[in-house]
């Protein structure tokens, strides 16, 4: 007798699970007292901010209490809000670290959105975990790799503790294939050089040139050497 009962129970569970599945948002329909972490990653121009804004707008429409944060370092378009490359916008609070987010989230807030999380330091991981443990839905967007194609800390750690991970790709500006990389076009080896269209572009793994920024520094140095001296080199 025990076996049919178990089978029936399984069917009920499966029905509940199916109801909770939506494209790009597996966990966002079922809402009990539990919090969770959703992470949206990918290169620049892949649509992370658009997706974050879409999810946050839906929560606002559903009259959930939403708070949105972004790092003060991202002065893209010199505004306080989250801005996508396609022009979508949502007001946000500016913070310097993940700890600041934890301090600023009100007890009644139900959904916390964070853009450009890769600029918020290690503390963003702990803050997201604490917020989820408090029962809040935490939606985070950020770059998973840097201009050299290396994992961009602390995003890999955030991925490890998240309930849901979505990776977006852009379109390679050279060949049109799926672009997983952020190509830096300017001469700088700093990890953080904030900029948009003219400083970066999306590239696929075949067209990606991780050393381009470095090569441009070398080119600039050669250009400053007087012609006669350069000729003897």
Residues annotated as part of the active site: 116
114 binds ligand ADP (CB under 6 A): no
207 binds Zn ion (CB under 5 A): yes
Burial of residue 16 (number of CB atoms within 10 Å: 0-12, 13-18, 19+)? exposed
Short-list 87, 25, 34, CA closest to 59? 25
38 binds ligand ADP (CB under 6 A): no
- Residue among 27, 177, 187, 214 that touches Zn ion (CB under 5 A): 177
The residues pairing with 157 across neighbouring beta strands, listed in sequence order, are: none
The residues, ordered by sequence, that sit 6+ positions from 54 with a Cβ below 8 Å of its Cβ are none
Short-list 120, 82, 118, CA closest to 101? 120
202 binds ligand ADP (CB under 6 A): yes
Closest approach of Zn ion to the CB of residue 149, in Å: 14
The residues pairing with 38 across neighbouring beta strands, listed in sequence order, are: 139, 164
* SS3 labels along 152-169: CCCHHHHHHHCCEEEECC
230 binds Zn ion (CB under 5 A): no
- Residue among 20, 22, 75, 86 that touches ligand ADP (CB under 6 A): 86
85 binds ligand ADP (CB under 6 A): yes
Closest approach of ligand ADP to the CB of residue 11, in Å: 40
Size of interface with Zn ion, in residues (CB under 5 A): 6
75 binds ligand ADP (CB under 6 A): no
Residues that bind Zn ion (CB under 5 A): 172, 174-175, 177, 204, 207
């Amino acid at each position: 007798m025990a076996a049919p009962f178990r089978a029936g129970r399984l069917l009920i569970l499966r029905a509940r699970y199916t109801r909770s599945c939506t494209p790009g948002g597996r966990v966002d329909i079922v809402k009990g007292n539990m919090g969770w972490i959703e992470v949206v990653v990918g290169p620049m121009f892949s649509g992370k901010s658009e997706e974050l804004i879409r999810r946050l707008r839906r929560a606002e429409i559903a009259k959930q209490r939403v708070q949105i944060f972004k790092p003060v370092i991202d002065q893209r378009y010199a505004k306080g809000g989250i801005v996508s490359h396609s022009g979508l916008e949502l007001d946000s609070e500016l913070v310097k670290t993940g700890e600041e987010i934890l301090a600023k989230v009100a007890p009644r807030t139900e959904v916390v959105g964070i853009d450009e999380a890769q600029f918020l330091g290690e503390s963003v991981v702990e803050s997201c975990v604490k917020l989820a443990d408090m029962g809040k839905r935490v939606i985070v967007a950020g770059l998973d790799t840097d201009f050299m194609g290396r994992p961009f800390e602390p995003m890999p750690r955030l991925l490890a503790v998240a309930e849901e991970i979505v990776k977006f790709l852009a379109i390679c500006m050279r060949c049109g294939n799926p672009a997983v990389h952020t190509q830096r076009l300017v001469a700088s080896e700093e990890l953080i050089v904030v900029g948009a269209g003219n400083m970066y572009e999306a590239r696929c793994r075949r067209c990606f040139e991780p050393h381009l920024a470095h090569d441009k520094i070398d080119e600039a140095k050669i250009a400053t050497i007087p012609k006669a001296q350069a000729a003897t080199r």
